[in-house]
Amino acid sequence: MTRIGIILGSTRPGRNAEAVARWVHQVAAQRTDAEFELVDLLDYQLPHLDEVLPPSMGQYAQPHTLQWANTIASFDGFVMVTPEYNHSTSGALKNAIDFLYGEWNNKAVGFVSYGAAGGTRAVEHLRLIAGELQMADVRGQVALSLFTDFKDFKDFVPSDFQVESLTAMLGQVVAWSTALAPMRAH
């Protein structure tokens, strides 16, 4: 069965990402075409990138990198949940992505973002990164506004429209992850 990791891309205290990622997982868990698992960056305690060799060489030396690599390698595709900080993604998510290379290759990725402008600028940066990592970023995207999808900027209350957007994006991630399986087999 196709396995999709839902990456909780913020480690900030009081983060909204946790409620958003749990919502994504709740909606995704109703599907029967793939297995979905939450991957919380807090569980990995990745320091600022500390590998001597470039990730593209795949010669990881640090135990935390090996643990992270094994986790990411176990998935066929991803949904990245990202806040928008200063018109980009979180430093924690960017750092976690930068630790690896081959483990990301030939896998699909979709994005759920949030922020004052829906987190769309963070996703635009992540799409550029995905291209370099040979990932297939899907067209569907969920852009959550702190003004309309959160009460008092903190309590997450997504609209029905957002559920429809998420469902469509999840379908694309599963389809592309499945289609890329022969590429990963090599």
Q: Which domains does the chain possess?
A: 3-185 (3.40.50.360)
pLDDT at residue 146, rounded to an integer: 96
Per-residue pLDDT, 186: 78
- Which 3 state secondary structure label does DSSP give 80? strand
The predicted structure's pLDDT at residue 174: 98
| pLDDT per position as a tens digit, 112-139 | 999 999 999 999 999 999 999 999 999 9
Intervals of the chain under pLDDT 50: none
Give the separation between CA 64 and CA 116, rounded to whole angstroms: 33
Q: Write down the mean pLDDT value for the chain.
A: 97
For every residue of 97-134, DSSP letters joined together read HHT-STTTTT-EEEEEEEETTTTHHHHHHHHHHHHHTT
pLDDT digits (tens, 9 = 90+) for 83-97: 999 999 999 999 999
